[in-house]
Amino acid sequence: MNAITPASERLVRVPLGERAYDILIGPGLIARAGKEIAARLKGRRAAVITDENVAPLYLDALIASLQEAGIQPSKLVLPAGEKTKSFEHLMAVCDAVLTARVERNDAVIALGGGVIGDLSGFAAGIVRRGVRFVQVPTSLLSQVDSSVGGKTGINTHHGKNLIGVFHQPDLVLADTDVLNTLSEREFRAGYAEVAKYGLIDKPDFFAWLEANWKEVFSGGAQRIEAIAASCQAKSDVVVADERENGPRALLNLGHTFGHALEAATAYDSRRLVHGEGVSIGMVLAHEFSSRLNLASPDDAKRVETHLKAVGLPTRMGDIPGELPPAEVLMDAIAQDKKVKSGKLTFILTRGIGQSFVADDVPSSEVLSFLREKHP
Name the catalytic one among 82, 186, 225, 244. 244
How far apart CA 255 and CA 252 sit, in angstroms, is 5
Phi, psi of 226 (to 5 degrees): -65, -40
Closest CA to 65 of 136, 144, 161: 136
Q: Find the Cα–Cα–Cα–Cα dihedral 85, 88, 89, 93, rounded to 10°.
A: 130
Name the catalytic one among 45, 167, 196, 234. 234
User: How do 72-78 and 45-51 pair as beta strands?
Assistant: parallel
* Residue 252 known to be catalytic: yes
User: How do 159-163 and 154-156 pair as beta strands?
Assistant: antiparallel
Which 3-state string (H, E, C) describes the chain? CCCCCCCCCEEEEECCHHHCEEEEEECCCCCCHHHHHHCCCCCCEEEEEEECCCHHHHHHHHHHHHHHCCCEEEEEEECCCHHHCCHHHHHHHHHHHHHCCCCCCCEEEEEECHHHHHHHHHHHHHHHHCCEEEEEECCHHHHHHHCCCCECCEEECCEEEEECCECCCCEEEEEHHHHHHCCHHHHHHHHHHHHHHHHHHCHHHHHHHHHHHHHHHHCCHHHHHHHHHHHHHHHHHHHHCCCCCCHHHHHHCCHHHHHHHHHHCCCCCCCCCHHHHHHHHHHHHHHHHHHCCCCCHHHHHHHHHHHHHCCCCCCHHHCCCCCCCHHHHHHHHHHCCCCECCEEEEEEECCCCCEEEEEEECHHHHHHHHHHHCC
pTM exceeding 0.95:
no
Binding-site residues from annotation: 114-118, 138-139, 151, 160, 193, 255, 274
Binding-site residues from annotation for Zn(2+): 193, 255, 274
Query: Residue 203's pLDDT is what?
Result: 97
Do residues 285 and 251 lie in contact, with contact meaning Cβ atoms separated by under 8 Å? no
Residue 163 identity: I
Q: Is the dihedral of CA 70, 76, 82, 86 positive or negative?
A: negative
Residue 298 identity: D
* Residue 259 known to be catalytic: yes
Q: Mean pLDDT, 10 residues at a time, over the chain (375 residues)?
A: 60 95 96 97 96 98 98 98 94 98 96 97 98 98 95 89 95 96 95 98 97 93 95 94 86 94 91 96 98 96 98 97 94 73 84 93 92 94
Side-chain-facing half-sphere of 210: CA atoms under 13 Å: 14
Q: 337: which residues sit within 8 A by CB, 6+ positions away?
A: 159, 161, 162
Name the catalytic one among 129, 157, 245, 293. 129
Binding-site residues from annotation for NAD(+): 114-118, 138-139, 151, 160
Query: Residue 4's pLDDT is what?
Result: 43
Residue 314 identity: T
Query: Residue 345's pLDDT is what?
Result: 85
Name the catalytic one among 45, 196, 223, 274. 274
Name the catalytic one among 82, 186, 193, 304. 193
Name the catalytic one among 255, 291, 302, 373. 255
Residue 212 identity: N
Query: Residue 5's pLDDT is what?
Result: 46
Is residue 109 classed exposed, middle or buried when 0-12, 13-18 and 19+ CB atoms within 10 A define those classes?
buried
Query: Residue 341's pLDDT is what?
Result: 63
Query: Domains plus CATH for the chain?
Result: 10-181 (3.40.50.1970), 184-373 (1.20.1090.10)
The radius of gyration computed from the CA coordinates of the chain, to the nearest angstrom, equals: 20
User: How do 344-349 and 355-361 pair as beta strands?
Assistant: antiparallel
* Residue 193 known to be catalytic: yes
* Residue 36 known to be catalytic: no
